[in-house]
Amino acid sequence: MDLHPNIPLKNFTTMRLGGPARFMAEARTQEEVAEIYHAAKSQSLPIFVLGGGSNVVANDQGFNGVVLRVRIPGFEVIADDPGSTTIRVGAGETWDETVKKTVDMNLSGIETMSAIPGTTGAAPVQNVGAYGQEIADTLQSLTAYDSQTDSFVTLANVDCGFSYRDSIFRGSQKGRYVITSVTLKLSKSAPQPPFYDALQKYFDDNGIHAFTQQIVRDAVIDIRANKLPDPKLLPNSGSFFKNAIIEEWKLNDLRVSYPDMPAYDMGDGKFKLSTGWLIEQTGLKGQVLHGMKVHDKNSLVLINESASSYTDLASARDEIISAVRDKFGVQIEQEPLEI
């Protein structure tokens, strides 16, 4: 176990911004996770767990503690029956590689989450999802280091407090747990329509009427490649804003003025709006604010064209939030976590 000093966080986050971490360490085993926590505690240093850096933005001051990068490997089948297969995956495995392996096994449940950057252990933190699937649908349990009790625990799905792009790991228990592995139960049945609207449109436009896990994965990869910039080429954090959730009465009010406003019924009188559509209606699509460009193919995405600081990013974010609030009376929220 090595603690490396003064490491620039901009080199480990896909937005390419942020000051230095006082220390950075990698853990490739559960035991190393505990050792790093013990070392940090002995020096009264806080810890921030960093996955692939694709859903995190770092501030200009950096982090006056230990940034822990979990790199625990592993992929194994732990149960199998006629209808499903259960796998356990190390938190350090690349998420898209996990998806690819399950698709190669003809398993369903996470195929529409193809090409999402980041690590498998980070997926439950924000309840990663795309095109109608989210990890809460298939996660059976996860193992984690509990920093409060200095022990390794198993949390069932119900313990994780999953909701739209949220969980206890970024909410009520933020900073307490370090996820070391996840266990997913996936179906052996082929994907079946109806699919998420954007995915169904792709199939219709391309004359695809028979579906396998690989066909769905290929479609999602193609859709994402056309609407989301590659962070290796254009620094970005993927979808920078969450889709807004509003009450039915608010949607009815808005549709008086905006009858074509897209919305997805989430049940219980709540509807999910397309925040990308809201931003586009403000006229900011394609605009550059403080060096951050609102992506001209997907207004949820902010691209770092020339921003040199987190302050630039925050200024652009706040202007976009204000523009949407002023036009629609809807408060949108940032999706990436902050160091």
Catalytic machinery residues: 165, 239, 335
Residues whose CB falls within 8 Å of the CB of residue 57, separated by 6 or more in sequence, listed in order: 13, 15, 17, 18, 237, 310, 313, 336, 337, 338, 339
- Tell the burial category of 93 from Cβ atoms under 10 Å away from its Cβ (0-12, 13-18, 19+): buried
CA distance 245 to 308: 32
CA distance 24 to 3: 6
User: Checking DSSP bridges between strand 4-8 and strand 47-50, what pairing results, if any?
Assistant: unpaired
Phi, psi for residue 50 in degrees, rounded to 5: -120, 125
Phi, psi for residue 55 in degrees, rounded to 5: -125, 35
- Tell the burial category of 226 from Cβ atoms under 10 Å away from its Cβ (0-12, 13-18, 19+): exposed
Q: Which of 69, 119, 71 is nearest to 95 (CA)?
A: 119
Order across the sheet with 139-146: list the strands.
75-80, 84-90, 177-187, 139-146, 151-156
CA distance 235 to 123: 20
CB atoms within 10 A of CB 297: 12
CA distance 244 to 258: 16
Q: In Å, what is the CA distance from 30 to each residue of 70, 122, 126, 211?
A: 9, 16, 22, 39
Q: Does 82 sit behind a cis peptide bond, omega within 30 degrees of 0 on the bond before it?
A: no
Phi, psi for residue 270 in degrees, rounded to 5: -115, 145
